[in-house]
Amino acid sequence: MNKRLPLGLLAILLIVLLAGVGVAYGLWSETLTIDGTVNTGEVNVKFGTITKSEKVQINFAPPVDEPKEKAEAANCEYTIKGAGTDGETLVITTTGAYPSWHCIVEFDVVSTGSVPVHVYTPQKISGPTWKDLKITDCKKVKLAQGVEAFEDNVCEGVECPPTQWWQLHKDDALRCKLTIHFTNDDKVDENATYTFVYKIEARQWNEPR
């Protein structure tokens, strides 16, 4: 015996059942919504104030300012390449360098991002092994106060340990001194070209190396 319900009736029955369920759950209810927006911060550092000076040792005495009449013999220039990008580069070029002549470049690494950073001691990743090609005197400077306030001067006159870092908040800076100098003991050739690269790493403050 075949007592199947007609298909049309079955469809109507299903619709009625679903409507009934809908009514049952739709009554007296309320929805709360959490609408979230995450605006991320930024880790950003750049080169700030840069100054350079040229000095010379005369008969191995302490360096003095280069005499005017000797100023054209050797020169030191700098420029910034890729400003505002990761890998912003301070390009320093010296010409006519000779033993006991010094180029000293003082530079600021400024934190301009919203996330505090740890800036680590600049690391030489390539270049000659001259005893006096070095970055020294790194110290933190608070620039936002209108006047420069120095602190954490832990490397006066010497290279800082590679693991040393300084925590910079926005507008804080790390000021360091790069010295480019070679002596006769460094066996530097005349009319030659030497290149070097220093890397300065800034990482978000809460995740150390």
Distance of CA 53 to the CA centre of its chain: 24
Q: How far is CA 158 from CA 78, 132, 170, in A?
A: 23, 11, 27
Binding characters for another protein, 97-136, by CB under 8 A (x = yes): xxxxx-----x-x---x-x-x----x----x---------
Specify the DSSP element, H or E, that contains 133. Answer: none
Residue 169: count of CB within 10 angstroms of its CB: 14
Beta partners for residue 107, in sequence order = 50, 176
| Residue 167 engages another protein in binding (rule: CB under 8 A) | no
185 touches another protein (CB under 8 A): no
**CB closer to another protein out of 113 and 160:** 113
Q: Which is nearer to another protein, 93 or 153 (CB)?
A: 93
Q: Of the two residues 129 and 184, which places its CB atom closer to another protein in the complex?
A: 184
DSSP helix/strand/coil, 2: coil
Cα 78 to Cα 191: distance, rounded to the nearest angstrom: 20
Q: Tell me which residues touch another protein (CB under 8 A).
A: 43-47, 56-60, 69-70, 72-74, 81, 86-101, 107, 109, 113, 115, 117, 122, 127, 178, 180, 182, 184, 188-204, 207
